[in-house]
């Protein structure tokens, strides 16, 4: 398996695959982001892969095709050069907002000869259900192979000769300049209806399918050309990544495409991020608004209302499956060694059981920000937002797990209180659109009570800063959210002191750790510091920090959750929505601070 930063990201807005610089697809979960893997070498050497690469030693360079998630890798040997193009296929002819609505679940690969002649090797080695099941390949019509194992049926079509060998298909072939070879690997459930047996796109010409998929992505990007601010290219790439992490049928956005990539190599902090956190979806919508891609707002709130059902007096669940599933119970896959020996490998995430009080504020922040895109709130959305405001007013004084999802004793985290303040502040601002059950006067009294409590108890004289929890002296980088949420101005003397304390105590270069003792720099915290510096008028300094953070992305502009300050290695699940959200918002904040564009309604 390769280092995390070596991977490129493929998506059909339903499932995701990762392909490394050596031409190996080491991760594909299908038909949903959170489905068991077909290729899982990312987490164990024996859990399946699909390698397509020169037989001799080679070097590689790569980039996405235009504004798409179609990846083109140029491989050079002493004898010549080829280009390998990879994608998860879209439904033929899908364009604009329709991309990813009915994906055919087909991995597309093509080899083009560029110079000389290159001998290529191909090894297709699926290991289904996270490596538990070995498929048996059977020849079909000419150029086609089929395999069924457990609940999965695969169909591979190729215009090169292949040989089966204990669950694998192998082949060698030569590509000369001007020649092309294509491969299509299609998934269907083993017991699909007859009409599903040959997915749309499986029988299409492979090269045409790749071209059509690139055009589908470009058509989506062309609908959102509006952002003209600083770091436009990076913002555009990050918005495409966020779209690729969106389960298009529901509008839910997953936190990352992977499970159990470690926060520390060889460590135990390995979590499944293939679910939709309300926090992440709300922040993603805010970032897409900045990037002039706000069209998902209606669908998100429709999904959210359906996932939550009747809120009532129950604590708000913080995360769901992409179709609104509630039970995400966690278990370990003991048969997998983990990425670079990082165990356990986990499927599911028990954080779904936690109380996290910040979530209500993040959802109401997004509703307020996107109010013009949403239009008139339906009665269902009105009821939902009122219920969230009421819950923030009722529960703000309780301890919780905090936004970093501590599995220890609940505490009175400062940002949890502040985001309850945000929930009520934005609900008051939306009161005339929330129907007859809105209670702005009651909400205002509680909002003011929360503010007074935070200002009185979050400040630590010993730390000379606002602390991570009420009555504590310990710093937490989440405090950087206070000016970003409008709770305090960045140039407030105590807020300035807090920003400086975070820089002094929690930063390694431009990487900001969440707390003292955290193992690596957390990228969204680092981008929050950029925003705070920009809001405080220190724009040149903020720009330098942003530029150095942007260099932490891999060669394709992809970011994980964390970065090892000593080695620069990307760590944690990948690609990470949170980190790309942070990049977009920091770029926008720098743009606004220099007067190039203004989005005053952000706060």
Q: Could you say which DSSP state residue 523 is in?
A: H
Q: Is 28 left (phi over 0), alpha (psi -120 to 50) or beta?
A: beta
Mean pLDDT of the chain: 92
Between 272 and 190, name the one with better pLDDT.
272
Within a domain: residue 248? yes
Radius of gyration of the chain measured on its C-alpha atoms: 24
SS (H, E, C) 213-264: HHHHHHHHHHCCCCCCCCCHHHHHHHHHHHHHCEECCCCEECCECCECCCCC
Within a domain: residue 602? no
Q: 461 Cβ partners below 8 Å, 6+ apart?
A: none
For residue 521, the model assigns a pLDDT of 97
Nearest to 581 by CA among 274, 254, 317: 254
Tell me the C-alpha distance between 81 and 59, whole Å. 9
The pLDDT tens digits of the residues spanning 90-145 come to 999 999 888 988 999 999 999 999 999 999 999 999 999 999 999 999 999 888 99
Lowest mean pLDDT among 36-45, 178-187, 244-253, 334-343: 244-253
Q: How confident is the model at residue 228 (pLDDT cuts 50, 70, 90)?
A: confident
Q: Residue 77 phi/psi, 5° resolution?
A: -120, 180
Q: Are residues 289 and 414 in the same domain?
A: yes
Q: Are residues 378 and 488 in the same domain?
A: yes
Between 370 and 475, name the one with better pLDDT.
475
Q: Are residues 176 and 269 in the same domain?
A: no
- Which H or E run includes 590? helix 577-593
- Check: CB of residue 520 under 8 Å from CB of residue 576: no
Q: Are residues 493 and 549 in the same domain?
A: yes
Lowest mean pLDDT among 4-18, 32-46, 587-601: 587-601
Q: Are residues 95 and 176 in the same domain?
A: yes
Q: Specify the CATH number for the domain of residue 57.
A: 2.70.98.50
Q: Are residues 241 and 200 in the same domain?
A: no
- Check: CB of residue 299 under 8 Å from CB of residue 374: no
- Check: CB of residue 108 under 8 Å from CB of residue 84: no
Q: Could you say which DSSP state residue 55 is in?
A: S
- Kindly write down the DSSP assignment for every residue of 337-381, as one continuous string: --GGG----EES-GGGGS--THHHHHHHHHHHHTHHHH-SPPHHH
Between 378 and 547, name the one with better pLDDT.
547
Q: Are residues 234 and 151 in the same domain?
A: no
* Domain end marker among 220, 246, 273: 220
Instruction: Compute the average pLDDT of residues 520-542.
Output: 97
Structure tokens, 203: 């029988």
User: How many CB atoms neighbour CB 114 within 10 A?
Assistant: 18
Q: Are residues 173 and 236 in the same domain?
A: no
Count: domains in the chain? 2
* Domain end marker among 198, 220, 242: 220
Instruction: Compute the average pLDDT of residues 312-322.
Output: 86
- How many residues are present in the chain? 603
Query: 185 by DSSP, 3-state: which?
Result: strand
Point out which residues pair with 563 in neighbouring strands. Answer: 521, 570
Q: Could you say which DSSP state residue 98 is in?
A: G
Q: Specify the CATH number for the domain of residue 518.
A: 1.50.10.10
For residue 560, the model assigns a pLDDT of 98
* Domain end marker among 205, 220, 235: 220
Tell me the C-alpha distance between 184 and 178, whole Å. 20
Q: Are residues 108 and 229 in the same domain?
A: no
- Helix axes of 297-308 and 358-369: crossing angle, nearest 10 degrees: 150
Q: 334 Cβ partners below 8 Å, 6+ apart?
A: 344
Within a domain: residue 603? no
Q: Are residues 45 and 70 in the same domain?
A: yes
Structure tokens, 338: 């983990």
User: How many CB atoms neighbour CB 376 within 10 A?
Assistant: 8
Within a domain: residue 304? yes
Within a domain: residue 75? yes
Q: Residue 468 phi/psi, 5° resolution?
A: -75, -20
For residue 598, the model assigns a pLDDT of 40
Structure tokens, 590: 């720098």
- Check: CB of residue 481 under 8 Å from CB of residue 528: yes
Structure tokens, 295: 């069209």
Within a domain: residue 334? yes
Between 14 and 196, name the one with better pLDDT.
14
Structure tokens, 569: 């290695």
For residue 293, the model assigns a pLDDT of 63
Domain that holds residue 263: 224-597
Q: Are residues 423 and 539 in the same domain?
A: yes
Torsion sign, CA atoms 311, 314, 317, 322 = negative
For residue 62, the model assigns a pLDDT of 97
Tell me the C-alpha distance between 181 and 210, whole Å. 12
Q: Are residues 433 and 460 in the same domain?
A: yes
Structure tokens, 31: 């038909």
Within a domain: residue 481? yes
Within a domain: residue 425? yes
Specify the pTM.
0.94
Q: 280 Cβ partners below 8 Å, 6+ apart?
A: 253, 254, 255, 577, 578, 581
Point out which residues pair with 146 in neighbouring strands. Answer: 138, 155
The pLDDT tens digits of the residues spanning 548-569 come to 999 999 999 999 999 999 999 9
């Amino acid at each position: 398996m390769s280092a995390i930063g070596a991977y490129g990201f493929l998506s059909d807005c339903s499932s995701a695959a990762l392909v490394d610089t050596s031409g190996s697809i080491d991760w594909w979960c299908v038909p949903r982001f959170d489905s068991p893997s077909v290729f899982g070498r990312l987490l164990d050497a024996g859990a399946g892969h699909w390698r397509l690469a020169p037989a001799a030693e080679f070097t590689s360079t790569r980039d996405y095709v235009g504004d798409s998630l179609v990846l083109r890798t140029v491989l050079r040997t002493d004898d010549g050069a080829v280009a390998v193009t990879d994608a998860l296929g879209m439904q033929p002819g899908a364009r604009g907002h329709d991309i990813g609505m009915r994906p055919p679940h087909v991995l597309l690969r093509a080899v083009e000869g560029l110079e000389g002649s290159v001998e290529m090797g191909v090894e297709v080695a699926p290991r289904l259900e996270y490596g538990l099941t070995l498929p048996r390949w059977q020849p079909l019509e000419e150029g086609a192979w089929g395999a069924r194992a457990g609940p999965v049926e695969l169909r591979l079509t190729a215009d090169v000769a292949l040989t089966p060998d204990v669950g694998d298909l192998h082949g060698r072939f030569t590509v000369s300049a001007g020649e092309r070879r294509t491969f299509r690997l299609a998934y269907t459930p083993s017991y699909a209806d007859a009409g599903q047996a040959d997915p749309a796109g499986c029988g299409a010409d492979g090269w045409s399918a790749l071209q059509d998929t690139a055009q589908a992505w470009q058509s989506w990007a062309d609908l959102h050309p509006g952002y003209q601010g600083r770091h436009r290219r990076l913002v555009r790439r990050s918005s495409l990544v966020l779209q690729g992490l969106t389960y298009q049928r529901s509008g839910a956005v997953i936190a990352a495409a992977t499970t159990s990539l470690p926060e520390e190599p060889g460590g135990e902090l390995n979590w499944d991020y293939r679910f939709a956190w309300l926090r992440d979806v709300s922040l993603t919508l805010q970032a897409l608004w900045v990037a002039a891609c706000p069209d998902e707002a209606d669908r998100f709130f429709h999904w959210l209302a359906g996932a939550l059902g009747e809120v009532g007096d129950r604590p708000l669940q913080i995360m769901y499956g992409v179709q609104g599933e509630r039970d995400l119970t966690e278990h370990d896959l003991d048969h997998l060694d983990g990425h670079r020996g990082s165990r356990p490998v986990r499927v599911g995430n028990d954080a779904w059981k936690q109380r996290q009080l910040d979530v209500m504020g993040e959802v109401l922040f997004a509703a307020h920000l996107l109010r013009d895109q949403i239009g008139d709130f339906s009665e269902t959305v009105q009821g939902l937002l009122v219920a969230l405001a009421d819950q923030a007013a009722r529960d703000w004084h309780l301890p919780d797990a905090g936004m970093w999802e501590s599995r220890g004793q609940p505490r009175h985290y400062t940002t949890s209180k502040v985001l309850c303040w945000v929930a009520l502040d934005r609900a008051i601002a939306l009161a005339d659109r929330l129907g007859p059950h809105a209670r702005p006067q009651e909400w205002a009294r509680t909002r003011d009570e929360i503010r007074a409590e935070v200002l009185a108890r979050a400040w630590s004289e010993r730390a000379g800063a606002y602390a991570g929890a009420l009555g504590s002296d310990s710093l937490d980088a989440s405090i950087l959210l206070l000016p970003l949420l409008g709770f305090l101005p960045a140039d407030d003397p105590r807020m300035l002191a807090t920003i400086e304390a975070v820089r002094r105590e929690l930063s390694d270069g431009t990487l900001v750790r969440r707390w003292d003792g955290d193992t690596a720099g957390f990228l969204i915290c680092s981008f929050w510091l950029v925003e705070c510096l920009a809001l405080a008028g220190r724009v040149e300094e903020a720009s330098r920090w942003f530029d150095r953070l942007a260099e932490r992305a891999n060669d394709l502009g992809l970011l994980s959750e964390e970065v090892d300050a000593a080695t620069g290695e990307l760590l944690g699940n990948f690609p990470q929505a949170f980190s790309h959200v942070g990049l977009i918002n920091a770029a926008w904040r720098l743009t606004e601070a220099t007067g190039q564009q203004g989005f005053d309604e952000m706060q």
